Structure 1
Amino acid sequence: MSQNIIAERYALALFELAKEQGSVDKLVEELRVVKQVINENPDFIVLLTSPNLSIVEKKQVLNDVFAKASPLVSQILNLLVDAHRQNEIANIADSFIQHANAEKGIADAKVHTVRPLNEAETAAISATFAAKVGRQSLNIENIVDTNLLGGLKVRIGNRIFDGSLRGKLDRLERTLTT
């Protein structure tokens, strides 16, 4: 079975439970933290998949690291350890967040700019690009990239809108060399 299908099934089940309990927003925030911890510490998953630790020890590590997590998040993490699917934690968090965003008409976007965006610019970008992808708003992660020279590059899912000076120069170079 494909890893994405596995993550999708767990995420959908967790999403349905969270909807029943009215805790979708809380779980989105908690799962963002879980995902961030895993992405910033790749050795954490190596530890959780290690045959040197028992399942009880792995659960204890998870419970210690995510001690402030809600019972639902703790239960799904423990369930994943029981099922030997701890390497899917980040994928499940991603899928859960996508379900929550889809229900609210929100999309995640990475906006690359030369300098940090202020609140007005973030709101304007959200309004402009949300309409282009059929969403109501965007959760914007601003990434400062001085290589752009100017303008911005927006990535929403697998769509990229490149209005950066670097992108325009690269396209011009390709046109002139062909």
Structure 2
Amino acid sequence: MSQSVAAQRYALALFELAQKNGQTGPVLEDLQELKKAFQDNEQLGHLLESPRLSVTKKKELLTDLFKGANPLILNTLSVLVDRKRINEVVHLVDEFNAYANDAAGVAEAKVYSTRSLTDDESQSISTAFARKVGKQSLRIDNIIDPNLIGGVRLQIGNRIYDSSVSAKLERLKRDLIGS
């Protein structure tokens, strides 16, 4: 989650509008593309923050660049330009994603393993751990980490479940040294 209060407020407003209009899914998809565009092109953010470019030109530029985007997103971008908050776009997307996940009963999870997980393994991890965090399912991001030796390490928010071989060896080492 972002630490930006402004991003949280804009994301909540956009989320409520999208939910009211039944467009949460399409808005989220467009926002992910928007985030990618801003992250891949740092010059775009700098250009939109520049005082040399008028507000009207900034809005025209955004409308041209994202003409296929949902109108709710274009309106939000326009408001961000007006309020000189365009630098909050990436944080806004993260916050919107968090609101959408919360409403759908989904949690983001990072699963560290020594190899790519199969679909069945991902599904069983999602089923087992979703209940532990009070969600219906997990959206898993599988990260390959050969240092684990075996097993998995799961991170959901600020919770970590570590059943990796390297962690078990470390616990055994502490127990032996402590005895």
- Quick check: TM above 0.5? yes
Q: Please give the alpha-carbon distance, in whole angstroms, between the structure 2 residues aligned to 1:60 and 1:177.
A: 66
Alignment length (residue pairs): 177
In percent, how many aligned pairs have the same letter?
46
Stretches of structure 2 lacking an aligned partner (at least 5 in a row): none
Stretches of structure 1 lacking an aligned partner (at least 5 in a row): none
Query: What are the Cα deviations for residues 136-169 of structure 1, in whole angstroms up to 9, with x where unaligned?
Result: 0011111222222221121111212122223334
- CA positional deviation for 1:33: 2.2
- CA positional deviation for 1:172: 4.6
Query: What are the Cα deviations for residues 54-77 of structure 1, in whole angstroms up to 9, with x where unaligned?
Result: 323333443344332111111111
Please name the residue that 2:123 is paired with. Answer: 123
Please name the residue that 1:85 is paired with. Answer: 85
Residues 167 and 55 from structure 1, CA distance in 2 versus in 1: closer, same or farther, beyond 3 angstroms? farther
Please name the residue that 2:145 is paired with. Answer: 145
Q: Please give the alpha-carbon distance, in whole angstroms, between the structure 1 residues aligned to 2:145 and 2:50.
A: 37
- CA positional deviation for 1:43: 4.3
1:77 maps to a residue whose letter is L
Please name the residue that 1:10 is paired with. Answer: 10
Please name the residue that 2:168 is paired with. Answer: 168
Deviates more, 1:124-133 or 1:89-98: 89-98
Residues 160 and 3 from structure 1, CA distance in 2 versus in 1: closer, same or farther, beyond 3 angstroms? closer
Q: Please give the alpha-carbon distance, in whole angstroms, between the structure 1 residues aligned to 2:24 and 2:32.
A: 12
2:89 maps to a residue whose letter is I
Query: What are the Cα deviations for residues 69-94 of structure 1, in whole angstroms up to 9, with x where unaligned?
Result: 11111111121111111111111111
Q: Please give the alpha-carbon distance, in whole angstroms, between the structure 2 residues aligned to 1:31 and 1:174.
A: 46
Please name the residue that 1:157 is paired with. Answer: 157
Q: Please give the alpha-carbon distance, in whole angstroms, between the structure 2 residues aligned to 1:43 and 1:10.
A: 23
1:28 maps to a residue whose letter is L
Please name the residue that 2:56 is paired with. Answer: 56
Q: Which is greater in Rg? A: 2
1:125 maps to a residue whose letter is I
- CA positional deviation for 1:36: 2.9
What TM-score, normalized by structure 1, do the two folds share?
A: 0.86
Residues 4 and 117 from structure 1, CA distance in 2 versus in 1: closer, same or farther, beyond 3 angstroms? same
Please name the residue that 1:68 is paired with. Answer: 68
RMSD between superposed Cα atoms in Å:
2.3
- CA positional deviation for 1:4: 2.2
SS at match of 1:109: strand
